[in-house]
Structure 1
Amino acid sequence: MLDWLKKWYANKFSDPQVVTLFLLLLFGFMAIYWLSGILAPVMVAIVFAYLLEWPVIHLSRLGLSRSASTVMVVAGFVGLATLTLMWIIPIVWYQGRNLLRDLPQMIDQGKNYLLALPESFPGVVSVEQITILMHSVDERLMAFGRDMLQMSLASIVDLVALLIYLVLVPLMVFFMLKDKAQLTSSFVQILPAERRLISQVWHEMNAQIMNYIRGKILEILIVGALSYAVFAIFGLNYPLLLGVLVGLSVLIPYIGAAVVTLPVALVAFFQWGPTADFGYLMLAYGVIQALDGNLLVPLLFSEAVDLNPVFIIIAVLFFGGLFGFWGIFFAIPLASLVKATVKAWSARTHPQSGAVD
């Protein structure tokens, strides 16, 4: 057994490029893990830089300079984002406030439904079980209220950080796009001269990350807008708030769709009860989720869907546990990075023999 391990180690780690790639990935993961709070605005800037790289490239191909293209794209994006947020945030805030105002009435209505269960299902559901369940729900609601109060107090500090991000992030995005060649060459100079394996993984991942970020933003916008339109057509309460939640839920593959279904179903149930309107709305919502999973995701993430759903869920849980929100957002690219690294590592060529492992 020990001899086999020695042979495996000598075979897989005899190439210095493998060690370099391993150390680079290790230091990168450690930096993000330990400095995630400090690097948060940098990560946001990188996401937007990847998102805006596509229009900058196309404007440059039309004859504009890189600087002029960057100014036009960043200015247009900031203006459009500002106008959109000025329209969405007040409405979402208003609907969220109404939801909190109506929440006690919805809770009382839910308790009445629960108290009627022992009469509807005698011998299956008892009054004691309903009482214990209601007591547990009350305790969880009180804990949720305390957490929301603590979050509101902490949001004052977060508001100051947000104002700083609103200045820093657009500046970093602008210079990342404008000086992309210089920044890339500066980073490359740090790497060793023999970096074929690193270059192979990087070229594969660079295109995947760009496509992933662009596709994920498009998926959020399409799913959120379609959900809002369906909720508004049916006359569901808080349509924009729920539409935003459904759109943001696609950030977490598979898990997000399951979690956001609960508030949509609860709001619809408390508004209409067990009626045909409730059934039609949930059917339409199910069609949206089915189209997202079976049409939109394969169309936008043709390479990412090569990963088995089990691997994607494991990646969400693992990287989300390590890096929080950014681990969840980049779970699929990180899983693809692991896959690309293993592929390049296993198929590398020995410089001496020229044979492929």
Structure 2
Amino acid sequence: MGLKAIFKNWVDRYFSDEEAVILLVVLVLGFATVILFGHILAPFLTALVIAFLLQGVVSWLERRRVPHLLAVILVFVGFIGLLLTLAFILLPLIWDQLVGLVQETPRIFASGQLLLDNLQSRFPQLITPNQIQEWIYVAGREITQFGQRALTLSLSSLGNVLALIIYLVLVPILVFFLLKDRRKLIDFVLSMLPKKRTLMTRIWNEMDDQIANYIRGKFIEIIIVGIVSFITFTFFGLPYSALLAVVVGFSVLVPYIGAAVATIPVAAVAGFYFGFSNEFMYVLIAYGIIQALDGNVLAPILFSETNNIHPVSIIVAVLFFGGIWGFWGIFFAIPLATLLKALVYAWPRGLQHQKQLETAE
């Protein structure tokens, strides 16, 4: 069979149906819009994620005979209250601890240098003075570059304060109308699609609940891991507990990789303040238990129906989509991987199922 015949069979299998071609066009336009105009649409995309998160609460209230508008208002007021609590209580605390940690960086650096000197004196055959000097040079260069990037970011952010304020106003407004007019917006989008959309409906039904459950589950996971980490670090008297708890909480956004990266600041702060003592080992053991419980108990409970994806696929999705869209690419890496998997499995089967129905009729 020639290359032309192989290509023709492939096209006939996947694109012989009008709906399949329209679905491909919709997907291409959707991805192109996000890639090209994602920074402009950031408030809308943020509001869409939050609306997905809050829609479950609205639906829960509606099932208990609460009118739709009243349910939306109650949920929205709770959302604004949580937002104000974070803005006036949690964020100042985290900022103060971040400033304190930055001020302590020279002392931590000097302590690390002293630790390396002690290791070199204990193991002169394994660690040479040249290696220590090279490590110190690399660490100093990285710290200097980090400080320069932070300063550049701070200066460049001064001109974006007005834009940030506009985003803070726009996002809550968008969230309210996405919740209030959800059915109207969905009907409007469906009105622009062809009436024959068996394949699109099949894929949408597979993805709708999964994406919503994933967003809500990931939010719950961040909150639980962050709170447990804060309580644990505070119990052991670890400084900057709130800041480290936030880092550990958000590390669950990146499967496998996030836990390894979050270990570095936790171990660095614990090592600087406790040294190689029993308290240092207790903190690392407790942190390891938290990560083990999250990966083996909490995550399977929250995502038992949404994450039937191989770990290699998850890591590749995180690297690929994170490289394209940054934070949002990392956040949506697993839903996007699930979408691609649903497309691969539903596309040929959806077309074959539709043809079987037409033949039976």
User: Normalising by the residue count of structure 2, what TM-score does the alignment of the two structures yield?
Assistant: 0.95
Q: How does 1:95-244 map to 2 (within 5 A)?
A: 95-244=97-246
288 and 128 in structure 1: CA distance in 2 versus 1, 3 angstrom threshold: same
**C-alpha contact 1:349 1:355 (8 A) present in aligned 2:** no
- Match for residue 52 of structure 1? 54
Partner of 1:33: 35
Which stretch shows the higher mean deviation, 81-90 or 195-204?
81-90
Structure 1 CA distance for aligned equivalents of residues 101 and 222 of structure 2: 23
> What amino acid maps onto 1:114 in structure 2?
L
The list of structure 1 runs, each at least 4 consecutive aligned residues, that deviate by more than 3 angstroms after superposition, is 349-356
SS in structure 1 of the partner of residue 217 of structure 2: helix
| Separation in structure 1 between the aligned mates of residue 114 and residue 348 of structure 2, nearest angstrom | 62
Residue equivalent to 2:44? 42
Secondary structure of the corresponding residue to residue 38 of structure 1: coil
Q: What percent of counterpart residues are identical? A: 44
What letter is aligned with 2:287? Y
Deviations 1:111-162 (A, max 9, x none): 1111222211122111111111211211121111111110111222333222
In the alignment, structure 1 segments of 5+ residues that lack a partner are none
Deviations 1:167-186 (A, max 9, x none): 11111111111111111111
Compute the displacement of 1:60 (Å): 1.9
**Deviation (angstroms), 1:337:** 0.3
Amino acid at match of 1:330: F
- Residue 90 of structure 1 and its aligned partner are, at CA, apart by 1.4
Q: Against the structure 1 CA distance between its residues 200 and 265, is the aligned structure 2 distance closer, same or farther, given a 3 Å change threshold?
A: same
Quick one: distance in 2 between partners of 1:71 and 1:353? 47
| 1:92 matches 2:76 | no
TM-score, structure 1 normalization:
0.96
8 Å contact from structure 1 (residues 205, 337) kept in 2: yes
Change in 2 beyond 3 A, CA 1:74/1:353:
closer
Q: Can you give the 5+ residue segments of structure 2 that lack an aligned partner in the other structure? A: none
Q: Name the residue aligned to 2:77.
A: 75
| Partner Cα separation in structure 2 for residue 134 and residue 141 of structure 1 | 10
Out of 61, 75, 79, which is 2:63 matched to? 61
RMSD (Å) for aligned C-alpha atoms: 1.5
Aligned to 2:305: 303
Q: 1:301 to 1:353 in 2, by over 3 A?
A: closer
**How many angstroms does 1:102 deviate by?**
1.1
